[in-house]
């Protein structure tokens, strides 16, 4: 099995808005990212392409002329609930501190915790990729999957597949527009390329 993980291109966020699942415009131009998307689609010829339904993931696919993909709610970014669309400096420290203290279990008002995000991403891996558990020796297909998503779900996928702590995975840089390749073999450790970059 091979999994390609692509984070969407950069967004316009001059006012430092907390966005999560909130729709944000992409930065222009998209030319270099469209070239990358076309190259992946042509050279890798994925058997299945899945995308977050967010416009910042869908637009680059559509602009590349790629129509054979499936939007999946499981691949949405973390929901920040009532904070979404607000500038971070508009959110009181009284609200922020409990979440910042333990974002894995705590959630923003009306939003979700990182634990909840990991659960829905794990559901996606089981339902669509046939990975029913973190035990990757089970039900490994020979298919190639391309996933276009956000930093939160991408970190969750990497955490689940490589058995890395959700806290440690937060130190991994997930740049806009970057693609990672995961190769999974039965009864062998999965391989990630390029290697992770830590601060």
Say if residue 144 is exposed, middle or buried (CB neighbours under 10 Å; 0-12, 13-18, 19+). middle
Phi, psi of 197 (to 5 degrees): -115, 125
pLDDT digits (tens, 9 = 90+) for 64-98: 999 999 999 999 999 999 999 999 999 999 999 99
- pLDDT given for residue 139 in this prediction: 55
**C-alpha distance from residue 166 to each of 42, 109, 191 (Å):** 33, 21, 18
Rounded to whole angstroms, the Cα distance separating 40 from 135 reads: 28
> Can you spell out the DSSP letters for 50-79?
EE-SSHHHHHHHHHTT----EE-GGGSPPP
- pLDDT given for residue 178 in this prediction: 95
Helix (H) / strand (E) element for 192: namely strand 191-193
Tokens representing residue 51 in the block: 């995308």
Written as tens digits, the pLDDT of the chain (199 aa) is 899 999 999 999 999 999 999 999 999 899 999 999 999 999 999 999 999 999 999 999 999 999 999 999 999 999 999 999 999 999 999 999 999 999 999 999 999 999 999 999 999 999 999 875 555 555 567 889 999 999 999 999 999 998 899 889 999 999 999 999 999 876 667 888 877 665 4
Contacts of residue 155, Cβ cutoff 8 Å, sequence gap at least 6:
166, 169, 170, 172, 174
In the chain, where the domains are located: 2-13+25-85+117-193
Beta strands in 8-120 (DSSP E): 48-51, 70-71
- pLDDT given for residue 193 in this prediction: 81
Closest by CA to 193, choosing from 151, 185, 178, 34, is 178
Please state which CATH class domain 2-13+25-85+117-193 belongs to: alpha beta
Provide the β-strand partners of residue 4. 146, 181
- pLDDT given for residue 90 in this prediction: 96
Tokens representing residue 140 in the block: 């490994």
- pLDDT given for residue 141 in this prediction: 72
pLDDT digits (tens, 9 = 90+) for 140-152: 678 899 999 999 9
- pLDDT given for residue 66 in this prediction: 95
Contacts of residue 159, Cβ cutoff 8 Å, sequence gap at least 6:
118, 165, 166, 169
């Amino acid at each position: 099995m091979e999994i390609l993980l692509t984070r969407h291109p950069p967004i316009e966020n001059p006012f430092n808005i907390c966005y999560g699942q909130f729709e944000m415009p992409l930065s222009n131009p998209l030319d270099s990212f469209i070239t990358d998307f076309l190259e992946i689609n042509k050279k890798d010829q994925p058997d299945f392409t899945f995308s977050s339904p967010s416009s910042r993931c869908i637009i680059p696919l559509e602009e590349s002329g790629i129509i054979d993909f499936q939007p999946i709610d499981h691949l949405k970014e973390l929901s920040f609930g009532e904070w979404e669309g607000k500038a971070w400096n508009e959110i009181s420290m009284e609200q922020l501190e409990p979440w910042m203290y333990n974002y894995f279990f705590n959630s923003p008002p009306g939003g979700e915790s990182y634990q909840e995000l990991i659960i829905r991403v794990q559901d996606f891996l089981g339902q669509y990729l046939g990975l029913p558990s973190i035990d990757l020796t089970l039900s490994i297909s020979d298919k190639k999957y391309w996933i276009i998503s956000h930093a939160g779900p991408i970190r969750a996928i990497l955490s689940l597949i490589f058995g890395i702590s959700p806290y440690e995975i937060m130190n991994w840089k997930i740049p806009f527009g970057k693609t990672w390749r995961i190769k999974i073999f039965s009864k062998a450790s999965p391989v990630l390329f390029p290697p992770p970059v830590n601060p």
